[in-house]
Structure 1
Amino acid sequence: MTKPLCVMLVAAEASGDDRGAGLARALRRRLGDGVRFVGVGGARMAAEGVQSPFDISQLSILGLLEGLLAYRRVMARVEDTVALAAREKPDVVVLIDSWGFTLRVAQRLRKLDPKLPLVKYVAPQVWATRPGRAKTLAASVDHLLSIHVFDAPYFEAEGLPTTFVGNSALTLDFSGADGERLRRELGVALEAPLLLVLPGSRPGEISRILPPFADAVAILKASHPDLAVVIPAAPTVADTVKAQASGWAHIVEGERGKLDAMKAATVALACSGTVTTEVAMAGIPMVVGYRLGNLTHAILKHLIRTPYITLFNIAAKDFVAPELVQDDCNGPALAREVAKRLDDPELRRRQVEAQAAALLKMGRGGPDPSEAAADAVLTLLAKPA
């Protein structure tokens, strides 16, 4: 009897956990009992049979200083991941996003077994900053699965074969989402304005971004007394969000609650990240806010080569959604931009149309990324060594 293909999936954050789970499902659809999974991930990957040796919240790190302070812990988790590979002897390893962690894992695995196929899923954004990472990645893995149409030239120039698979956020299915259901469950009138607040999925984001978002909400509630506020809390930070925001917002959990909240919203106030694409997919106008540690920001502002931080703004080459970053990410400024959209239906309509046009440039309507990623992994394994 042929032994099952062993696929190791490594994800260190919520978005990577989602991509890893999707890839596992796609591979199982093709191979059935002919595949087994090992690796590192969160709850979604666990539901697909990936039993992580540690809680990935330990790796949810934002900023240079925070990264330095967590260095020993991160390196210990790198060693745990490599030890898992040494024990399970996978046929291929797919390293999902999380640049610093997955790069170190890749480099250690390369030394452990130079013939082990290594796939990176989600490229570092070298078109925005630190282009040297393309060369570093090319020396560390065998293949790149890219989620942006503009990634490939940077990595192929360094000799790294690259397959564009698309962004899973662009295939988010809202067919079962029901904004009215959420409003009924929360006791929010159907005609009342509803602000969706998305403060991030990392502890560092919550500590830096939730306070100015809370200040903005307080200002908005003073001028819009019928305003309802909903926060879909990511599993990695749900307890912290509940402790800090339950007094001024409805907190919802789970995928259904998140999608319902996105469809129910009038306007969103969102932390920069994957969630901005998801909100745009829901057809909701948004204001984007973000804060880094002062040291990290001081260094990065000299390295960033694009004026935008939101992917659909990058695709549009325009501030389709306003971005308030660092010192500009404060209560009064955020409230002012949100209020403009709460008070002006025409502005909301124009922004939603512009967001939708940008999503098309990003690849909306293309093949399912998980299916494309599964095809790419199996094609790589089929090639002679």
Structure 2
Amino acid sequence: MSGLRIFMVAGEASGDLLAREVVEAIRQKADDVEFAGIGGQELASVGINSPFDISPLSILGFAEGIRAYGTVVKLADAAADAIIAFRPHAVVLVDSWGFMLRVAQRVRARAPEIKLIKLIGPQVWATRPGRAKTLAATVDHLLCMHDMETPYYAPFGLPTTVIGNPALSRNRPGNGAKFRAARGIGPDEQICLVLPGSRRSELAKVAPALLEAAKQVAKEKPDVRIVVSPAGNMADTFDETFPDVSGWAEVLHAPEERYDAMAAADVALACSGTVTSELAMQGTPMIVAYRTGWLTWALARGLLYKKHHITLLNIVSDDQEIVPEFVQTQQKPELIAGKAIEWLSDPEKLERQKDAQRAALSRMQGKGHSSAGISADAILSVARGQAVLPQE
């Protein structure tokens, strides 16, 4: 079959990056594919320009989602209109569960012949396993990260392909020495890296605690260099929200420096998310913080979330705390700073943390195939109406 049309939809920074990687992988495997899509800077970098701004989708939590419901519905309607107009053979819906479900339902109702592929499923293994049935009734194929997800979908007949953790597939070792040399930071000087989140809600609820913790680290240990690396999609918003940070820390604006900064850092203070896996790949000891709205948290802890931890390194380690987490009431700058100062003051503790993270990371490693490459093969098969073959 020739002349395939594939429509990509990505609603957040991590999804936008994965969507771009998948597009590149598909182009390496097939030269007969025409793309269109909705996304951000990453998809735009490979020639797929979004017809509207997706930044309003960078929301978090139940209460926040309720407030943004009208916007989400309007964007889902607009996305469905764009998809129908393009008449694709397949649509790839990347991450962003609530928004993508609404888009899929609209497309399925209007054009049931279009194949719908969900790239990264909801965390049914941690919360709300009923979403497996909902997804199975809506899409044709699921590309999920973990083997432990597939049994949730088997009873409902949804075909799944396990792609592994995309962050681990990237395997892009940063050049810490290059980063230090470019900034005149000696090999024996210590760096504390702050990763404040990739959503507006995270800049509001998590970033202030991380930044205040970094200030306390600098006050206690004035020789430590503080580096802040906002997510690319939030760089302008970060500068507007925290205009004074550049006065006491080095703020990175070049996305290509992100992994170099991770590799150079002695410790990272990070908002929970995909970035924790990226830090683990760079061998960077990390401390994780997170806070969401209280209604969201009460629902999650009381009814939905089945794990004790939120960081994937901890979850795969039999739900034990390998990476320190400071969540909700424990997200206090003095607690975060205290742990960072403890590590920075004791090289042996830093090394032990690296060892613990490496052991946890080994549990997350896949079969050697790239997540984007596995995804590309499956997407092409579904779009062509062929069986998806398992990876050898």
Answer yes or no: same fold by TM over 0.5.
yes
Give the secondary structure class of the aligned counterpart of 1:151: helix
Measure how far apart 1:156 and its partner are: 1.8
Cα contact 1:53–1:80 (8 A) shared by 2: no
CA distance in 1 between partners of 2:102 and 2:139 (Å): 11
8 Å contact 2:194–2:211 — kept in the other structure?
Answer: no
Structure 2 distance, partners of 1:40, 1:248, is 37
Aligned-pair CA distance for 1:384: 6.0
Kept in 2, the 8 Å contact 1:9–1:39? The answer is: yes
Q: Does 1:298 align with 2:298?
A: yes
What SS is found at the alignment partner of 1:36? strand
Residue of structure 2 equivalent to 1:132: 130
Which secondary structure state, in structure 2, belongs to the residue aligned with residue 120 of structure 1? strand
| TM-score normalised to structure 2 length | 0.94
| Partner residue of 1:226 out of 200, 223, 226 | 223
> Per the alignment, in what secondary structure is the counterpart of residue 49 of structure 1?
coil
- Which amino acid in structure 2 is aligned with residue 196 of structure 1? L
Q: Which moved more, 1:23-32 or 1:96-105?
A: 23-32
Residue in 1 that maps onto 2:188: 191
> Is the 2:145–2:163 Cα contact (8 Å) retained in structure 1?
yes
1:358 is aligned to 2:360: yes
Matches within 5 A, 1:257-272: 257-272=257-272
- The alpha-carbon distance between structure 1 residues 218 and 384, as it changes in their structure 2 partners (threshold 3 A), is closer
1:63-102 to 2 correspondences below 5 Å: 63-102=61-100
Percent identity over the alignment is: 43
Paired with 1:296 and 1:290, the residues of 2 have a C-alpha distance of: 13
Contact map agreement 2:119 2:143 (CA 8 A) in 1: yes
The alignment of Structure 1 onto Structure 2 pairs a total of residues equal to: 382
Q: Cα distance, 1:236 vs. partner?
A: 2.0
Where does residue 256 of structure 1 map in the other structure? 256
Mapped contact 1:170–1:365 kept (Cα < 8 A): no
**In structure 1, what residue type is equivalent to 2:348?**
E
Matched with 2:11 is: 12
Tell me by how many angstroms 1:77 deviates.
Answer: 0.9
Q: Which residue of 2 aligns with 1:347?
A: 349
Q: Out of 238-247 and 206-215, give the one that drifted further.
A: 238-247
What are the equivalent positions in structure 2 for 1:15-94 lying under 5 Å apart?
15-32=14-31, 34-94=32-92
1:203 deviation in Å?
Answer: 0.8
Aligned partner of 1:208 in structure 2 is 205
Are 1:312 and 2:313 an aligned pair? yes
Residue number in structure 1 paired with 2:171: 173
Gaps of 5+ in 2: 388-392
Q: 2:161 aligns with which of 155, 163, 169?
A: 163
Report the Cα distance in structure 1 between the residues aligned to 2:255 and 2:146, rounded to whole angstroms: 24
Partner of 1:111: 109
The answer for unaligned runs of 5 or more in structure 1 is: none
- Residues 250-271 of structure 1, C-alpha deviations (whole Å, 9 max, x = no match): 1112332101100110011111
Q: Which digits, 9 at most, give the CA deviation of each residue in 1:330-359, with x for residues without a partner?
A: 111101111121122222222212212222
Q: Indicate if the aligned counterparts of 1:96 and 1:121 stay in contact, CA closer than 8 A.
A: yes
The answer as to whether partners of 2:92 and 2:117 remain within 8 angstroms in 1 is yes
Secondary structure of the residue that 1:316 maps to in structure 2?
coil
Amino acid at match of 2:339: E
1:144 aligns with 2:142: yes
- Contact 1:134–1:154 under 8 Å retained in 2: yes
Letter in 2 for 1:306: K
The answer as to whether partners of 1:96 and 1:120 remain within 8 angstroms in 2 is yes
Deviation readout 1:264-296 (Å, 9 max, x if unpaired): 100111110000000000001111100101221
Q: 2:369 aligns with which of 367, 370, 374?
A: 367
* Contact 1:152–1:162 (8 Å) recurs in 2: yes
